[in-house]
Amino acid sequence: MSLPHAILTALLEKPSSGLELTRRFDKSIGYFWSATHQQIYRELGKLEQAGHIRALPAQVPARGQKKEYEVLPAGRSELSEWVARSEDPKPMRAALLLRMRAAAVVGAPGMRDELERHLDLHRRQLEEYRAIEVRDFPPARRESEPDRLRHLVLRGGIDLERFWVEWLTHALDELER
């Protein structure tokens, strides 16, 4: 996945300003594809230049007014083509796993504390995802295919967090032996 496609997706869901996109990334898309405020603005400029989005005309022209963007047909077409493409899974990159491997070579002072910290972070993220599921995806809201797809994305996040909680618990048990 790439940032331009994440932005096109978000704008198709709801035309937004760069600031609104940043906030929406922090609340949803950012859970699985993060981006800084600067990256989003830089990408908005590129998408506009490529003819994939346009700034909506301001209702009341004012200096310094935030631009709101919408997706143009070329942007929708690009996103549709991207969705239809075949893409192999990417290898997982996890700094914690690399650090554990390094700790096996140079020693592991503090590794237990770091694993406990990560376990706590993943437990909190799992709780947050479950709260979102209860709030936003009760069974009655899973009738349409778009709602089912959004729920499946969230379920992927829930399952990944459950994996990390289980794995970190096991790792801590192993270190205790």
Contact 175, 112 (CB under 8 A): yes
Which of the two residues, 80 and 176, has the higher pLDDT score? 80
16 DSSP β-pair partners: 69
Amino acid, res. 51: G
72-83 pLDDT, tens digit each: 999 999 999 999
Which of the two residues, 69 and 2, has the higher pLDDT score? 69
- At residue 47, the pLDDT reads 96
* pLDDT exceeds cutoff 90 at 44: yes
Contact 72, 53 (CB under 8 A): yes
- At residue 142, the pLDDT reads 79
CB-based burial, 53-90: b 16+ in 10 Å, e otherwise? bbeeeeeeeeeeeebbbebbeebeebbeeeeeeeeeee
* pLDDT exceeds cutoff 90 at 32: no
* pLDDT exceeds cutoff 90 at 141: no
- At residue 151, the pLDDT reads 93
Return the minimum-mean-pLDDT range out of 14-23, 29-38, 103-112: 29-38
* pLDDT exceeds cutoff 70 at 1: no
Return the minimum-mean-pLDDT range out of 135-139, 140-144, 152-156: 140-144
CA distances from 52 to 2, 3, 109, 145 (A): 15, 13, 51, 25
Amino acid, res. 149: L
* pLDDT exceeds cutoff 70 at 15: yes
Q: What percent of the chain has pLDDT over 90?
A: 64
- At residue 156, the pLDDT reads 95
Mean of the per-residue pLDDT values of the chain: 90
DSSP single-letter state for residue 170? H
Kindly write down the DSSP assignment for every residue of 116-161, as one continuous string: HHHHHHHHHHHHHHHHHHHHH--GGG--SHHHHHHHHHHHHHHHHH
Q: Where are the beta strands (DSSP E) in the chain?
A: 16-17, 53-55, 68-71
DSSP single-letter state for residue 70? E
CA distances from 97 to 10, 93, 106 (A): 32, 8, 14
